[in-house]
Amino acid sequence: MREDRAEMSEDEDRALDLGGGGPDASNKTESSGGSCGAGDSPSPFPDQVLDNVLEDVLRFLTSRRDRNAVSLVCKSWCMVEALTRSDLFIGNCYAVSPRRVVDRFRSVRSLLLKGKPRFADFNLVPPNWGSYFSPWVTAMAAAYPWLEKVYLKRMTVSDEDLGLLAHSFPGFKELVLVCCEGFGTSGLSVVASRCRQLRVLDLIEDEIMDDEVDWISCFPETGTCLESLIFDCVESLVNFIALERLVARSPSLRKLRLNRHVSIGQLHRLMVQAPQLTHLGTGSFSFSDLMVQGDQEPDLVSTFAASKSLICLSGFKDILPEYLPAIYPVCANLTSLNLSYANINAEQLKPVIYRCHKLQTFWVLDSVCDEGLQAVAATCKDLRELRVFPMEAREDIEGPVSEVGLLAISEGCRQLQSILYFCQRMTNAAVVAMSKNCPELVVFRLCIMGRHRPDHLTGEPMDEGFGAIIMNCKKLTRLAISGLLTDEAFSYIGTYGKLVRTLSVAFAGDSDMGLRYVLEGCPKLQKLEIRDSPFGDSALLSGLHHYYNMRFLWMSSCKLSPLGCKEIARRMPRLVVEVISYRDEETDDAVEVLYMYRSLEGPRNDAPKFVTIL
Amino acid sequence: MESTVTYESDLNLKATELRLGLPGTDEYEKQTPPSVRSNKRSLPDIIEESDTGDREAPVTKAQVVGWPPIRSYRKNSFQPKKIEAEATGIYVKVSMDGAPYLRKIDLKVYKGYPELLKALENMFKFTIGEYSDREGYTRSEYALTYEDKDGDWMMVGDVPWDMFMSSCKRLRIMKGSEARGLGCAV
């Protein structure tokens, strides 16, 4: 799982504050007259010494927020900071252009770039919307030949982009692609063969085309520097013999996550080759379709027992539950366990979870029911992050988990910091209890799957529950709300949500007041995504004072009109206001999707036809 | 364990009864509506109110795009597995040379070849005897063959049962000279 890359996880930006924002800081310095470029006249001698000293000092400064602050002190500080910043974080690829970035920052080694809005994950953004990696890789190929690391999230990456990357950066070390698409196994093969220093190749929830290229065979024959190879999202078959040989010649490999086509027997063989692994994704954890005659039952228990360094386990994509006990030997050391693809029940979970005393991160399917969650609560006293995913993503069924499971978790796991919980029924009482039992909560995401569903015991809206969360959880920065909610819930958020940075709203609220409460009350709000809620133009206009401080605002199927959106665009020139249409014809009816974000560049030139930039 | 057990045994009885249907008609669809596969529900179309009317279910239960907010990658991870593994079973058509109509059987019901052979013998009222590695079905004028994933006709019994189950698309009981040809070791 992505727990060791805080900035890439779904719980975005918990540790990273946008603050002035990397390139956005230049917004302020530019408006105060002049960029921090080479056009400045050389300073007299004492200042030059000071600059050199500053440069040496600043090399130790790694925090983004600190660097942004430094860059605001004065022009020369801005310049020196720009020369020494090596890690670049760009939260919205359209907020700044590659050109501007390359002009300001001269010695970048690592780039993190995010593209599409998160609701694209749920098919709310039509294909070919944008977020192309091409202009970025082209600009960096020329400017940063010593680039080592690229992290992309929700970007469109082509095979050609990967080819250019592989050819342009001889010291390239880490490629992490999360929720990206547009490339295939041929792109991967170029990276594998050309990037001889590659340490990390992490493919996480990407859509990768099967070009039938055997990319696993393309890694250097003489041995690799690979430390992490994650490809559980690759849907195509991989050449197992080549994979086995690759693992054998990668002595630094610590993280390996296999795709669902790797059978349990093959997993066994790989684990024998790599007992030093710390992170393992087990693939299917099942037999393949073709049972080769003569295959003995693999002695998985011994193999797991020999993997003394394993702390993170995932995979189990087609699990045969009777083989789950094989992991018992490692349970006591596990800090992270992802069973969210494993269709197992409470009885099958219990013997595993009862052994996992050190567990901090746990992802699971609701097939384990409230009873399974009770077992988690009884054992995992150090649990920090819990995600409960639904087996069936529907609205009209009974559902195996409920307020019972949530309550149990709140009582057993007092250190909980982050929760994502899908359910069909919930009560205010359980949510209130969690707000009091788990004061460390930073991320609270509750998804009651039935739209507009109230407290199923009292029939009341879920306002009180969410209100309690926002009031009692003093460290809360990310909130996702659901169920039947009135404007009251939003009033609570506006009154108490002083640290909230990310808010997700769906099918909630009664009137414009709801949105107004939030826009007027939450000074730290940076990412606001709303769907199917009755908020209109006047609510939108109440946020003008704040939109430049936000990364983006998404509103779909609300009550916005083209006129209202045009008014925003008129009044805020540094905001790009995109209206996305699902239908082909132009319409003056309600706006289907509004997506707006601050930007130094104005309207982008790669927008497709269904996007109108106001 | 689950409701799927009763489901399967019901169908088993039906599979062995004689009926006057058109040859080759599919009585049992491979696709079942999603909620049949659920552990909790039995009827797909009825929305049962388990709580006393507290739920204000929205009027339309039509699927809303992107709701609940699960990535399609995750949604798709389960559906294929459930269709194979749960109540539906592996239904294949069985034809016998000279018989007026075909039958359908669920391979999942049988633990191995002997059971399958016995069931077929009962169903079609013939004897096929035993299978031997070298000579196939020598004791009978019938031979049992199947069509595999590649479209080739293979003799039943050569490969391990699990492999057979996953690759068998249909069965054919051959008779007469064709069958005898198959019975000889090649």
Per-domain boundaries in chain B: 91-178
The string of pLDDT tens digits covering residues A526-559 is 999 999 999 999 999 999 999 999 999 999 999 9
Q: What rounded mean pLDDT belongs to chain A?
A: 89
Radius of gyration of chain A (CA): 25
The string of pLDDT tens digits covering residues A324-374 is 999 999 999 999 999 999 999 999 999 999 999 999 999 999 999 999 999
Give dist(CA A51, CA A185) in Å, integer. Answer: 47
Q: What is the 3-state secondary structure (H, E, C) of A159-194?
A: HHHHHHHHHHCCCCCEEEEECCEEEEHHHHHHHHHH
Which residue in chain A has the smallest CA separation from B47? Answer: A396
Task: State the pLDDT confidence band at A168, using cuts at 50, 70 and 90.
Answer: very high
Radius of gyration of chain B (CA): 21
**In the prediction, which pLDDT does B104 show?**
86
- Name which of A239, A253, A247 is nearest A269 in CA terms: A247
pTM: 0.75
> Cα-Cα-Cα-Cα dihedral of A397, A400, A404, A406, to 10°?
-100
**In the prediction, which pLDDT does B136 show?**
67
**In the prediction, which pLDDT does A231 show?**
97
Q: Which residue has the tokens 């996953």?
A: B166
Shortest CA gap B85–chain A (Å): 10
Q: What are phi and psi of B170, to 5 degrees?
A: -160, 160
Question: Other CB atoms closer than 10 Å to residue A296's CB: what's the count?
Answer: 6
Partner residue opposite B68 with nearest CB, options A124, A289, A393: A393
**In the prediction, which pLDDT does A3 show?**
39
- Give the CA distances from residue A62 to residues A57, A111, A381, B161, in Å, rounded to whole numbers and listed in that order: 11, 14, 33, 60
**In the prediction, which pLDDT does B22 show?**
56
Q: What are phi and psi of A133, to 5 degrees?
A: -80, -20
Give dist(CA A132, CA A352) in Å, integer. Answer: 43
Domain that holds residue A35: 2-85
Find out whether B36 and B87 touch, Cβ atoms under 8 Å. yes
For testing the chain B interface, which of A318, A348, A366, A395 should be mutated: the one with the most B CBs within 10 Å?
A395
User: Residue A556: inside a domain, yes or no?
Assistant: no
Of all residues in chain A, what percent carry a pLDDT higher than 90? 78
**In the prediction, which pLDDT does A26 show?**
36
**In the prediction, which pLDDT does A393 show?**
79
User: Residue A523: inside a domain, yes or no?
Assistant: no
**In the prediction, which pLDDT does B88 show?**
61
**In the prediction, which pLDDT does A601 show?**
92
Q: Where are the alpha helices (DSSP H) in A222-282?
A: 240-248, 264-273
User: Residue A331: inside a domain, yes or no?
Assistant: no
**In the prediction, which pLDDT does B165 show?**
87
Find out whether A64 and A108 touch, Cβ atoms under 8 Å. no
Task: State the pLDDT confidence band at A65, using cuts at 50, 70 and 90.
Answer: confident
The residue among A200 and A86 whose pLDDT is bigger is A200
> What pLDDT tens digit does each residue of chain B (186 aa) get?
444 444 444 445 555 656 555 555 444 433 333 333 333 333 333 333 333 333 444 444 456 889 999 988 888 777 544 444 445 678 888 988 888 888 888 888 888 888 888 888 888 888 876 677 666 666 677 888 999 888 888 888 888 888 888 889 889 988 866 666 554 443
For testing the chain A interface, which of B78, B159, B163, B168 should be mutated: the one with the most A CBs within 10 Å?
B78
Give dist(CA A558, CA B72) in Å, integer. Answer: 24
Q: What are phi and psi of B162, to 5 degrees?
A: -60, -40
- Name which of A538, A589, A536 is nearest A562 in CA terms: A589
Estimate the crossing angle of helix A403-412 against helix A369-379, to 10 degrees.
Answer: 0
| CB within 8 Å: B56 and A452 | yes
Q: Answer positive or negative: Cα dihedral of A213, A216, A217, A218.
A: positive
Q: Residue B136 gets which letter from DSSP? A: B
Give dist(CA B38, CA B31) in Å, integer. Answer: 14
Shortest CA gap A396–chain B (Å): 6
- Give the CA distances from residue B145 to residues A292, A352, B45, B157, B183, in Å, rounded to whole numbers and listed in that order: 21, 44, 40, 9, 11
Burial class of residue A587, CB neighbours in 10 A (0-12, 13-18, 19+): exposed
One-character DSSP codes across A459-489 = ---THHHHHHHHHH-TT--EEE--SS--HHH
- Name which of A395, A390, A339 is nearest A366 in CA terms: A390
Q: Which residues contact B170 (CB under 8 A, 6 or more apart)?
A: B92, B93, B94, B95, B146, B147
Find out whether B172 and B164 touch, Cβ atoms under 8 Å. no
Give dist(CA A296, CA A265) in Å, integer. Answer: 9
User: Residue A72: inside a domain, yes or no?
Assistant: yes
**In the prediction, which pLDDT does B62 show?**
54
A-B contacts (CB, under 8 Å) = 102
Find out whether B22 and B101 touch, Cβ atoms under 8 Å. yes
- Give the CA distances from residue A274 to residues A244, A251, A254, in Å, rounded to whole numbers and listed in that order: 10, 8, 8
Which residue in chain A has the smallest CA separation from B2? Answer: A345
Burial B37-52 (b: 16+ CB within 10 A, else e): bbbebeeeeeeeeeee
Domains contained in chain A, number? 1
User: Residue A437: inside a domain, yes or no?
Assistant: no
Q: Which helix (H) or strand (E) holds A567?
A: helix A562-571
Please tell me whether the interface predicted TM-score (ipTM) of this complex is above 0.90. no
Q: For residue A209, list its beta bridge partners.
A: A184
Which residue in chain A has the smallest CA separation from B35? Answer: A397
Protein fold of B91-178: Ubiquitin-like (UB roll) (3.10.20)
Q: What are phi and psi of B58, to 5 degrees?
A: -60, 155
The string of pLDDT tens digits covering residues A222-241 is 999 999 999 999 999 999 99
User: Residue A23: inside a domain, yes or no?
Assistant: yes
User: Residue A60: inside a domain, yes or no?
Assistant: yes
| CB within 8 Å: A449 and B68 | yes
| CB within 8 Å: B39 and A457 | no
**In the prediction, which pLDDT does B121 show?**
86
Q: Which residues contact A408 (CB under 8 A, 6 or more apart)?
A: A370, A373, A374, A376, A377
* B45 shares contact with chain A (CB less than 8 Å): no
Q: Which helix (H) or strand (E) holds A69?
A: helix A64-71
Task: State the pLDDT confidence band at A449, using cuts at 50, 70 and 90.
Answer: very high
**In the prediction, which pLDDT does B12 show?**
53
**In the prediction, which pLDDT does A45 show?**
63
Q: Which residue has the tokens 């609220």?
A: A509
User: Residue A572: inside a domain, yes or no?
Assistant: no
